[in-house]
Chain A
């Protein structure tokens, strides 16, 4: 019976490792230095949001235009709340009235319905994130037909042309997100040791550029650090499983990069379950549980975040310029920030424009 149990356990382990390692992208080409420069979904060169400003003439025209805007997002989250808050606040200051807000809950039919419903209020401007490029082309049809100005966050509907169907795309400095995460991990690991790389295994330029920039930075700047294992991830709930398999195969792993915060929470859980307090985690986006671990000097070394509130403001300004006939560069980026235990309060405020959650503040005191 004992032997049978051992054999069964071994079989399960082998199957688990095989299924996980089966997702390893062997021969993943080294991205090279081009991976460390942020580009738009169609290769557009990036322009900093900080360069975007309304001239006084434009500001006057915007106020006189008594325009209306709809904010139609793909989901609800801390990030979206911050973007929405930045956009709504800036629009109000410019004299543009927000007449509708929507959450598509990652449902393409809901996204189309939200646009159609919002169009009843005849908005001159719509800000949103078309999470599914193919379906979004149909979702925004009614807005395009009504010549509503569209400003997109991060993604763009298929076959939409800059300057024709949409004003601009705004996102975070994707390459910098990856680079900062790499630099932060290197600092935490003393620039040496084995690294696990958990990337987003889907064709989505936002996560792809962030991930590839991390990898390129590690491989080009830190010769004593080696990415020993790469695991693709599509389901954010699989972070814990992937990390568990990684730790079994590479028990000496010094650091793990995780493509974004949600699966990183699973990775942290895996480390805790294994009693591992030394392997460092770096990831992108803010997360309360990860931040708590970070301020307790746990496994999480840093969180690299985008300035979500600024993204919203940038979208609003770009939209306003578009409304009065001005031209905006096709791809705008907001800066990335590395948040560690030492600057967490400021980082939370800069990224989400909110006070640090009480539970994290309590840990700091």
Chain B
């Protein structure tokens, strides 16, 4: 029972929090379709980014520049759309650029052999600086209806497009991690890079690939934010990096590499979204919300860390 609880802590926690809020906040609008959809929509960008981050962490690397890349990506696509570039082309260019950002991070990590923590931290400044310079700190509006419908603002079969995007990335991420050679290599490299190398796995290529994917993921989230908020700013996504890492780690991905769980990551990000939603509906003051969220995060991280020790 103890082992089951530890192994599946995040799912148990998610269910408990959901049931708790459903009962205590039933007259406050919590348990309504609209509110549940809101939580899923608001969690979607974090979920998407967390799937990509789980690959990075699984490979024993980290990307602290993803928040900055999100902001830059939102500005690039907004700038292109304002110049009447076709929305598909604008999105493709943006994703290309964000992937290049990831590749640059990856090159410094794999070829120059700098720690990814320091590399991506340093690049955060560069990326933010470029984003600030791009529009001279201005926020850009995004009004292309096709773009906003597909990327973050619209619905398909009454399901918000953000949820559909998250579902797509989660499915692809799960398949990649659990049912592909690439996923197996990522986990092997994160678990023991030396042993992986001796078995013929190209460790450098794997690490470079996950960093490129992280950049791509941040670019995608930048597009989705631009579509959802119908605007773009260099500050967009700035505070998401730590939230994404927290969601990834409490979902069962190890900060030290070799272990990742896409379903766990989904549960982690939805849990964080539920907490934000529920505490606000419960009438907690902002200070109280922050304290409670912090306590829950510490508890979740502690249990998550304990479960890894016992493996």
Contact = CB atoms under 8 A, between A and B. Distances in A.
A137 B230 CA distance: 8
6 contacts: A103-B286, A109-B229, A114-B280, A116-B42, A121-B29, A132-B139
B141 interface: yes
B231 A134 contact: yes
Interface stretch (A39-47, A94-102, A343-351): A94-102
B280 A108 contact: no
B110 interface: no
A103 B283 CA distance: 13
A138 interface: yes
B32 A120 contact: yes
Given A120-B34, A121-B28, 20 more contacts: A102-B280, A102-B286, A103-B286, A107-B238, A108-B236, A109-B228, A109-B236, A109-B237, A110-B239, A114-B280, A117-B276, A117-B281, A120-B35, A120-B38, A132-B139, A137-B141, A137-B230, A137-B231, A138-B229, A138-B231
A93 to B, nearest CB: 18
Nearest to A111: B229
A290 interface: no
B228 A138 contact: yes
A161 interface: no
A76 B239 CA distance: 15
B233 interface: yes
Interface residues of B, number: 37
Contact of A117 (B38, B45, B141): B38
A207 to B, nearest CB: 13
A108 B281 contact: no
B42 A113 contact: yes
What are the 8 closest A-B residue pairs judged by CB atoms, nearest first? A120-B29, A103-B286, A135-B231, A134-B139, A138-B230, A120-B35, A134-B231, A113-B42
Interface string A109-129: 110111011101110000000
A101 B34 CA distance: 20
A149 B287 CA distance: 26
Interface of B: 28-30, 32, 34-35, 38, 41-42, 45, 137-141, 153, 225, 228-231, 233, 235-240, 276-277, 280-281, 283, 285-287, 289
Contacts of B289: 103
A103 B288 CA distance: 11
Interface size class of A (residues with CB under 8 A): 20 to 34
B229 A108 contact: yes
A234 interface: yes
A122 B236 CA distance: 28
B196 to A, nearest CB: 38
Contact of A100 (B229, B235, B239, B283): B283
B239 A107 contact: yes
Nearest to A99: B283
Contacts of B137: 202, 234
A278 interface: no
Interface string A65-98: 0000000010010000000000000000000001
B281 A120 contact: yes
Best-buried of B42, B45, B237 by chain A (most CB within 10 Å)? B42
Contacts of A108: 139, 229, 231, 233, 235-236
A33 interface: no
A268 B41 CA distance: 45
Contact of B281 (A100, A133, A137): A100
Contacts of A139: 229
A120 B28 contact: yes
A109 B280 contact: no
B283 A122 contact: no
B280 A135 contact: no
A102 to B, nearest CB: 6
Contact of B229 (A106, A135, A234): A135
A105 interface: yes
